[in-house]
């Protein structure tokens, strides 16, 4: 068994666990469950640290083999070890899935922040989208212009 194979298998397992946490995180973001989000952040921290250690191990392996991290894929292919090649490809796929899930969750958070900000502006009677909807007393404006909350 190749030394890199052990590193890749452990890194792949951690990627799968991280990916599962990002799926739970997505649900918590959608449900706006701050308690669940805080718990998930606590669970993600050790996995992020583990993935960082795997990254260092892979870089150390590349250093020992006197190859660059960019040429690792061609190095793995050149070893003619099908199990190692499969482990490397699976790791890359899971790594890409983790990145995509993180990006998706970041977009959800930004969208939620923007929606909350727009609703707060509406309630405060600030911003162009909410001008003249409510008067200073919080009553609906008599201007006759009504806007749906989805258009804010």
- 128/83 Cα distance (integer angstroms): 60
CATH number of domain containing 43: 1.20.58.300
Residue 135: give the domain boundaries.
Answer: 3-151
Beta bridge mates, 134: 140
| Cβ-based neighbours of 135, under 8 Å, separated by 6 or more | 125, 141, 142
Count of domains forming the chain = 1
The one-digit pLDDT tens for each residue of the chain (152 residues) are 588 999 999 999 999 999 999 999 999 999 989 999 999 999 999 999 999 999 999 999 999 999 998 899 999 999 999 999 999 999 999 999 999 999 999 999 998 888 888 878 777 766 555 455 556 666 666 555 555 555 54
Q: Phi and psi (nearest 5°) for 134?
A: -120, 145
The whole-model pTM stands at 0.73
């Amino acid at each position: 068994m190749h030394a890199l194979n052990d590193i890749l298998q452990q890194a792949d397992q951690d990627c799968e666990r991280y990916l599962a946490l990002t799926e739970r995180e997505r649900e918590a973001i959608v449900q706006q469950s701050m308690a669940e989000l805080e718990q998930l952040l606590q669970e993600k921290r050790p996995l992020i640290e583990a993935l960082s250690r795997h990254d260092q191990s892979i870089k150390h392996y590349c250093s020992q083999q006197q190859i660059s991290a960019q040429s690792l894929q061609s190095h793995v292919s050149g070893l003619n070890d099908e199990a190692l090649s499969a482990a490397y490809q699976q790791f890359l796929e899971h790594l890409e899935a983790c990145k995509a899930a993180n990006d998706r969750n970041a977009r959800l958070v930004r969208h939620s922040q923007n929606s909350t900000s727009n609703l707060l502006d509406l309630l405060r009677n600030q911003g162009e989208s909410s001008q003249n909807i409510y008067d200073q007393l919080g009553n609906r404006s008599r201007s006759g212009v009504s806007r749906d909350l989805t258009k804010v």
